[in-house]
Amino acid sequence: MSKAKLVILDCWVSPFCMRVKIALNEKGLEYEAQAEDLFGGKSELLLSSNPIYKKVPVFLHGGKPLCESIIIVNYIDETWSSPPLLPPCSYGRAQARFWADFIDKKVFDACGNIWRSKGEVPVEAKKEFIEILKQLEEALGDKDYFIGTTFGFVDIILIPLTSWFFAVEKIGGFTVEAECPKFSNWMKRCLQRESVAKVVPPPEKVYEFVLMFRKMQGID
């Protein structure tokens, strides 16, 4: 089964899809990314593979679908054990999953509170976003990556979300580098990895998408 065809139903700007592609790249696996038109009409394959949420990413392993990016990354790590993405000890794995859960619940919503703002961005929205990054910066400490010296699970869950930070900075009128320098250095370190660099789109391109999406939503 582990040698079966690997397909991801994908959208280039989705950080949740990026997570899956980075995990596959870290494992050195060949896969096919099938682009979904999320605005013009979702494919029958997407609708049948993810009938509950009808959204990307969907990971197909030998035709069997899996949904939700954290579940998919966990599955990839369990199915292809080398190199491991999670720490070797159960406590370390639990801690990594805690931070992945924190990231999932907090970061993208906090981004949205800024880029979805009409008119001037509320001070509270910026404060909340920066406070979340400071909590993550504290968890990172002086380590190169969240798990330690090795790029792993938490980094994979978080780094794709940062592709939207440039748009958030432009709309919010601040910079992550000025507010959270250690976090900013971690971002740069991760983006230099080949597995990440070939997946994460240029921040300016994401910004253009966000501006277009704001117009579609009647925000501008």
- Predicted confidence (pLDDT) per residue in 76-93, tens digit: 999 999 999 999 999 999
Taking 80 as the threshold, does the pLDDT of residue 2 lie above it?
Answer: no
In this predicted structure, the answer to whether residue 3 has a pLDDT above a threshold of 80 is no
* Intrachain domains 6-79 and 90-216 with the same fold: no
Average pLDDT (54-83) is: 97
Is pLDDT of 189 > 80?
Answer: yes
219 — pLDDT class (breaks 50, 70, 90)? confident
Query: How much is the pTM?
Result: 0.96
Domain boundaries, the chain: 6-79, 90-216
Average pLDDT over residues 103-109: 97
Mean pLDDT along residues 64-70: 98
Residue 220 has pLDDT above 90, yes or no: no
- For domain 90-216, give its CATH number from 3.40.50.150, 1.20.58.100, 1.20.1050.10, 3.30.870.10: 1.20.1050.10
Instruction: Compute the mean pLDDT over every residue in the chain, rounded to the nearest whole number.
Output: 96
Q: What is the mean pLDDT of residues 200-207?
A: 97
* pLDDT given at position 40: 81
Integer Cα distance of 102 and 33 in angstroms: 28
DSSP state of 193: S
CA–CA dist 31, 63 (Å, integer): 13
Q: Which CATH architecture has domain 6-79?
A: 3-Layer(aba) Sandwich (3.40)
* Structural tokens at position 136: 């993550």
